[in-house]
């Protein structure tokens, strides 16, 4: 049996006001049964700003404040876009793989509370919620 190749997936969407939403799904670690994928979300005004934040290369003030400026009218819309994309990726990844969605914003406690309410109310019960790591995990069963 031939091993399944896993390549990173990137999703980009433009919002009003020249905002850019970028989501990444990266194969992080291989396990005996599959692969663990890391999902991340960033919203910003430019591709450079988002890439700097995702790669953690810079200590520029605008990049560090990136997530604090996303409250207000774009908050729920970006959350809906992110959930829709994660659902699509769940259909694309092979059986035996899992997805980890971590809260990495500057106000990660607030982000975790919002996402936790959403996952408990709207998503599949198979999502595991980790308060310790501020993350959500989904394992796609093999059979």
Q: Give the total number of structural domains in the chain.
A: 1
Chain centroid, CA 121 distance in Å: 19
Establish if 1 belongs to a structural domain. no
Give the gyration radius of the chain's Cα atoms: 16
Establish if 53 belongs to a structural domain. yes
pLDDT more than 70, % of the chain: 82
3-state SS, 105-123, equals: CCCHHHHHHHHHHHHHHHC
Q: Per-residue pLDDT tens for 58-84?
A: 566 555 555 444 444 566 778 888 888
44 three-class SS: strand
Establish if 2 belongs to a structural domain. no
pLDDT band, residue 55 (cuts 50/70/90): confident
Establish if 109 belongs to a structural domain. yes
* Structural domain containing residue 80: 9-139
pLDDT band, residue 44 (cuts 50/70/90): confident
CB 7 within 8 A of CB 70: no
Establish if 4 belongs to a structural domain. no
pLDDT more than 90, % of the chain: 10
Establish if 30 belongs to a structural domain. yes
- Residue that the structure tokens 């910003």 belong to: 44
CA distance 135 to 119: 11
Establish if 43 belongs to a structural domain. yes
Establish if 125 belongs to a structural domain. yes
């Amino acid at each position: 049996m031939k091993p399944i190749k896993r390549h990173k997936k990137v999703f980009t969407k433009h919002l009003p006001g020249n905002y850019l939403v970028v989501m990444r799904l990266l194969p992080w670690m291989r396990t005996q049964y599959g692969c663990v994928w890391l999902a991340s979300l960033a919203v910003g005004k430019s591709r450079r700003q988002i890439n700097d934040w995702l790669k953690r290369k810079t200590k520029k003030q605008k990049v560090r404040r990136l997530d604090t400026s996303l409250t207000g009218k774009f908050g729920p819309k970006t959350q809906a876009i992110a959930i829709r994309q994660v659902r699509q990726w769940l259909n694309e990844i092979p059986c035996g793989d899992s997805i980890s969605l971590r809260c990495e914003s500057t106000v990660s406690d607030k982000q975790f509370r919002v996402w936790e309410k959403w996952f408990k109310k709207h998503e599949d019960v198979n999502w595991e919620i980790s308060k310790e790591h501020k993350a959500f995990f989904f394992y796609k069963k093999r059979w």
